[in-house]
Chains A and B, each alone.
Chain A
């Protein structure tokens, strides 16, 4: 891939520019809005067709589950949390990178986030949709899934607020709501761009309504910027809390391998790791397809690779500490669980996890790999695979060998489990492709703010 201008990659003294090429305020808007205005490319239809087919598979699998019951899954008595919980934790984890990019990097004034935050936030919202599906269908009688919520009812019963499973309902529900609001508020100015450029009546009405009449008033910007800053400050502890609460589902139980205090930080690091993996997986091909090299520069991609390297190493460190504590605790069940993880019936899952999460991301130490599009894309796929297997290892290996050998068993997924997982990618990509088609995928108004000509005093504060 050739680069258009300037220093493509940050060196030690002068940071690379955040926007390459000879872009001004107008051309940023044009480039971003054109993606939504061009005739739909054929590749989009092909991809959308595949995604819709997979979504159909998901609907078929869920319908089959509703009609036939949970027996169509591979669950058995010690392993009552199979693919549903693995997939749930996997998708919630992916969601985390979006909020990290949009909120935490915003608070730390990492201006390179501006070109990638919209995609990442979209990914967050869609991944939470996928995640939310699984606990809902896992409850068995899913028509009673509303029992999860504290709704006054004729039985005068209330859910148990002391249970981590209910904390999860609130944590994921709050996370989904706040993510959607953060995403929507951030895109108001760009929707108004599309409104002002709309040619057809349909577009005028839809973008007109959804941009809420935004007109770039400085009085509005003043309140808007304050609201956005505070939303970022609220979302920052939220992103750390959501996966901590997810990890409480495991950590507050007394199953060996789950009952550990390292779980919340370890889960959060893993979530950010997997989320950045998914962001790279999506952004590398889209960037080339829509010719967005000026906005998503190699500096952006390299920074994401560095975050993957850092969080991947944290995850690897957590694996080591788990083993050390299992040995150091002197608890035979704990020791056995970890030896069994690495060398028991599920050794293959454990070593896929270690290879993909700990070993392959170390290649990002090399600048050649961090700046190679194909290389980073392949490594990002490894991250996705590795993090799915991490959740599989945590859920299944701990459950299949607990205290009494009499209750030991082996879990294997059925074809329904497999196709439901595949189908959840259909849901994710259907939503993502619709997003690419109809919503500005780059926060144009924010990118304008980081252009050099945006500073009224020529860079002096």
Chain B
């Protein structure tokens, strides 16, 4: 393989090892790196130096939109679109609108949570260079992986390999796109 590698991946065996590795990679100043684990490892966010996700704000925005939609839909349909006095209630009878306001608020917020999560994570992404890496097929089972991409400013293949070796990685491999 003469083409430059997309990145270098190292395999670790336990959550404690991968946590230490992530801290070391963060402290070495790499930014374009990622950790892949079968389940979310506690404190990994801090070990990688991740910024808190802005997803909750998206969800809040969607909740407000859902609430406004419900008020608007019901207020317009009952007050303007099809104005009928039913059970002696005023045309804009807010208390009777509350259940649907609640339901649409939750529905929109849930859409925000699910599709927002997928968008922030850029999923679905059916192709990724790591999928071509043989040991990586263990990622959902019991493998703990850390990968540094060659597009990182500080990336030098020898340095990365040395760092991974010093951390006690079991396997270190180039990943090609």
The yes or no answer to B113 lying at the interface (CB within 8 A) is: yes
Given A223-B55, A445-B140, A213 and B81 touching (CB < 8 A)?
no
Residue in A196, A235, A245, A248 whose CB lies within 8 Å of B141: A196
The yes or no answer to A160 lying at the interface (CB within 8 A) is: yes
B98 closest partner in A (C-beta): A167
Which residues between 61 and 107 of chain B lie within 8 Å of chain A, taking CB atoms?
Answer: 73-74, 77-78, 81-82, 84, 86-87, 89, 93, 96-97, 99-100, 102-104, 106-107
Point out the residues of chain B lying under 8 angstroms from A178, CB to CB: 106-107, 110
Contact B106 A238 (CB under 8 A): yes
The yes or no answer to A344 lying at the interface (CB within 8 A) is: no
Point out the residues of chain A lying under 8 angstroms from B36, CB to CB: 215-218
Given A174-B104, A223-B53, A248-B99, A212 and B44 touching (CB < 8 A)?
no
Contact B114 A185 (CB under 8 A): yes
Given A171-B99, A178-B110, A454-B39, A162 and B87 touching (CB < 8 A)?
yes
Point out the residues of chain A lying under 8 angstroms from B43, CB to CB: 456-457
The yes or no answer to A288 lying at the interface (CB within 8 A) is: no
Most chain A CB within a 10 A radius of its CB, from B36, B48, B110, B114: B110
Contact A167 B100 (CB under 8 A): yes
Point out the residues of chain B lying under 8 angstroms from A29, CB to CB: 38, 140-142
Contact B124 A213 (CB under 8 A): yes
Contact A161 B48 (CB under 8 A): no
The yes or no answer to A201 lying at the interface (CB within 8 A) is: no
A215 to B131, CA, bound (A): 8
**How many chain A residues touch the partner (CB < 8 A)?**
71
Contact A213 B42 (CB under 8 A): no
Which residues between 170 and 188 of chain A lie within 8 Å of chain B, taking CB atoms?
Answer: 170-171, 173-174, 177-178, 181-182, 185
Contact B44 A221 (CB under 8 A): yes
Point out the residues of chain B lying under 8 angstroms from A2, CB to CB: none
Most chain A CB within a 10 A radius of its CB, from B22, B104, B124: B124
Partner-contacting stretch, out of A43-51, A224-232, A410-418, A424-432: A224-232
B114 closest partner in A (C-beta): A181
Within the complex, the shortest CB–CB distance from B119 to chain A, in Å, comes to: 9
Contact A214 B123 (CB under 8 A): yes
Contact A181 B110 (CB under 8 A): yes
The yes or no answer to B41 lying at the interface (CB within 8 A) is: yes
Within the complex, the shortest CB–CB distance from A30 to chain B, in Å, comes to: 8
The yes or no answer to A150 lying at the interface (CB within 8 A) is: yes
Contact A218 B141 (CB under 8 A): no
The yes or no answer to A378 lying at the interface (CB within 8 A) is: no
Contact B100 A166 (CB under 8 A): yes
Q: How many A-B residue contacts, CB cutoff 8 Å? A: 215
A242 to B107, CA, bound (A): 13
Contact B123 A449 (CB under 8 A): no
Point out the residues of chain B lying under 8 angstroms from A171, CB to CB: 99, 103
Contact B35 A449 (CB under 8 A): no
The yes or no answer to B126 lying at the interface (CB within 8 A) is: yes
| B interface residue count range (under 10 / 10 to 19 / 20 to 34 / 35 or more) | 35 or more
A208 to B123, CA, bound (A): 12
Contact B104 A160 (CB under 8 A): no
A206 to B4, CA, bound (A): 32
The yes or no answer to A331 lying at the interface (CB within 8 A) is: no
Which residues between 426 and 449 of chain A lie within 8 Å of chain B, taking CB atoms?
Answer: 445-446, 448-449
The main secondary structure of chain B at its interface with chain A is helix
A145 to B13, CA, bound (A): 56
The yes or no answer to A362 lying at the interface (CB within 8 A) is: no
The yes or no answer to A144 lying at the interface (CB within 8 A) is: no
A220 closest partner in B (C-beta): B121
The yes or no answer to A26 lying at the interface (CB within 8 A) is: yes
Residue in A159, A221, A234 whose CB lies within 8 Å of B40: A221
Cβ proximity bits B110-121 to A, threshold 8 Å, 1 near / 0 not: 110110111011
Contact A448 B38 (CB under 8 A): yes
Which residues between 1 and 30 of chain B lie within 8 Å of chain A, taking CB atoms?
Answer: 14-16, 18-19, 22
The yes or no answer to B177 lying at the interface (CB within 8 A) is: no
The yes or no answer to A453 lying at the interface (CB within 8 A) is: yes
Within the complex, the shortest CB–CB distance from B152 to chain A, in Å, comes to: 15
B102 closest partner in A (C-beta): A241
A214 to B117, CA, bound (A): 12
Contact A161 B97 (CB under 8 A): yes
A222 to B40, CA, bound (A): 8
Contact A189 B140 (CB under 8 A): yes
The yes or no answer to A455 lying at the interface (CB within 8 A) is: yes
B82 closest partner in A (C-beta): A158
A457 to B17, CA, bound (A): 10
Point out the residues of chain B lying under 8 angstroms from A446, CB to CB: 39
A27 closest partner in B (C-beta): B142
Contact A453 B14 (CB under 8 A): yes
A161 to B126, CA, bound (A): 43
Residue in B37, B55, B59, B126 whose CB lies within 8 Å of A218: B37
Contact B114 A170 (CB under 8 A): no
Contact A161 B141 (CB under 8 A): no
Point out the residues of chain B lying under 8 angstroms from A150, CB to CB: 73, 77
The yes or no answer to A199 lying at the interface (CB within 8 A) is: no
Contact B117 A224 (CB under 8 A): yes
| Beyond known contacts A150-B73, A215-B139, A235-B110: 16 more, CB 8 A cutoff | A158-B77, A160-B78, A161-B74, A167-B99, A193-B141, A196-B140, A212-B118, A215-B131, A216-B145, A222-B45, A226-B56, A231-B114, A235-B106, A455-B42, A456-B41, A457-B42
Binding site for B on A (CB under 8 A): 24-26, 29-30, 150, 156-164, 166-167, 170-171, 173-174, 177-178, 181-182, 185, 189-190, 192-193, 195-197, 208-209, 212-227, 230-231, 234-235, 237-238, 241, 245, 248, 445-446, 448-449, 453-458, 461
List 11 interface pairs A-B (beta carbons < 8 Å), by A numbering: A162-B93, A170-B100, A212-B124, A213-B124, A217-B35, A218-B37, A218-B48, A227-B113, A230-B109, A245-B99, A457-B16
